[in-house]
Amino acid sequence: MSEIKRNLRFIGTLISLRARRLMAFRLSFFAGSIVDSSLFITWLLMFSAIYGRVDGIGGWSRGEMTIFIGTYSLLNALNMTLYFFGVIGLPGKIKSGDLDHYLTKPVSPLLRLTFEKVDLGSAPLILVSVLIILAGVAEANVAVTLCTALGYIALVLCMCVLYYDLELILRTIPFFVISASSIERLEGAAFEVCMRVPGTLFTRGFKILFYYIAPYGVMATVPAQVLTGMATPGGVAQALGILIVFTAFSQWFFRFGLKHYKSASS
């Protein structure tokens, strides 16, 4: 309990330091929010054009698809705000040897790496995402109960952890190879596909790839299904199972990677 308190106080200090630093670049403060909002707005326009011609896509109505896009936007917003800018710095620190500074401090290196670059400028994107989701709920005419709302929030938080796991796994690979930029670019390509279409549309090889190998297809789909009443207990259990496996693996993989850290720049 005291360790949790200590870690929370440490995270608070990191956020405070980061906020002060970001304030020095006021013009770029909200850049992340504006940039990502433009991305999700173009996708909404894209689906609006498609739904102008069809009634449904694989069983997803316009409102349900809006909820899906809003959910992905929300996951992306939480990712950008909380840990994205911290985790993406890991390969550079491994390569330059700067990870030494993290290992010698009396706090978990992963905790510091994860939360040292909290980006408050991305937080408005959370609000934009919530507005998209609310618009989708209104359009889909979904009756949201307290139970489904809480279930949705809990699953979004769980999928946020899954998102973190996937980012961490890919950025742990540089412990073993010189550069993992190729893997990061593949991640971008997979992410691009899965952010645009609900995972239920994938079949055969794509289903295996985006559900079990790189489960980007699960992340927004299952919470959106819960909110729209399309989820099955089996589907939710499967998503949670994937989360547990990937979380356990990412933590083990990071520790395993640390053992192979050469502490030498290249």
Partner 1 sequence: MRKYWEIAKLSFKVQIAYRFDVCMSMVATAASITFAVVLWGAIFGESETVGGFTLDQMLTYYVLSAFLAMLDMSGGVSSEIGDRVRNGTFSKYMVVPVNTQGYFIAQSAGVTGFYLTFDLAAAVLWTFLFGIRPTLTGDVALIFAALTIIALGLLFMVQFNYALGLLAFRFLDIGPVLIIKGNLIAFLTGALVPLSLLPDWLTAGIRLFPFYHVTYLPAMLLIGKNAGEAALGIVTLSVWLLFITALNTRAYGRAQLRYDGVGI
Residues at the site binding partner 1, with contacts judged by CB under 8 A: 27-28, 31, 34-35, 38-39, 42-43, 45-46, 49-50, 52-58, 182, 185-186, 189-190, 192-193, 196-197, 201-202, 206
What dihedral angle (degrees, nearest 10) is formed by the CA atoms of 129, 133, 138, 142?
-170
| Cβ proximity to partner 1, 3 vs 55, nearer residue | 55
Q: How far is the CB of 60 from partner 1 (least distance, A)?
A: 9
Strands in the chain per DSSP E: none
Tell me the two tokens of residue 208.
């295996």
Q: How far is the CB of 136 from partner 1 (least distance, A)?
A: 18
Q: How far is the CB of 260 from partner 1 (least distance, A)?
A: 24
Q: How far is the CB of 169 from partner 1 (least distance, A)?
A: 19
Please enumerate in sequence order all residues whose Cβ is within 8 A of that of 262, keeping only pairs 6 or more positions apart, or say none: none
Question: Which class for 49: exposed (0-12), middle (13-18), buried (19 or more C-beta within 10 A)?
Answer: exposed
| Cβ proximity to partner 1, 61 vs 114, nearer residue | 61
| Cβ proximity to partner 1, 116 vs 187, nearer residue | 187
| Cβ proximity to partner 1, 45 vs 103, nearer residue | 45
| Cβ proximity to partner 1, 201 vs 236, nearer residue | 201
Tell me the two tokens of residue 65.
């698809």
Q: What is the DSSP string of 69-107?
A: HHHHHHHHHHHHHHTHHHHTTHHHHHHHTTTHHHHSSSS
Q: Count the neighbouring beta carbons within 10 Å of the beta carbon of residue 262.
A: 10
Q: How far is the CB of 234 from partner 1 (least distance, A)?
A: 21
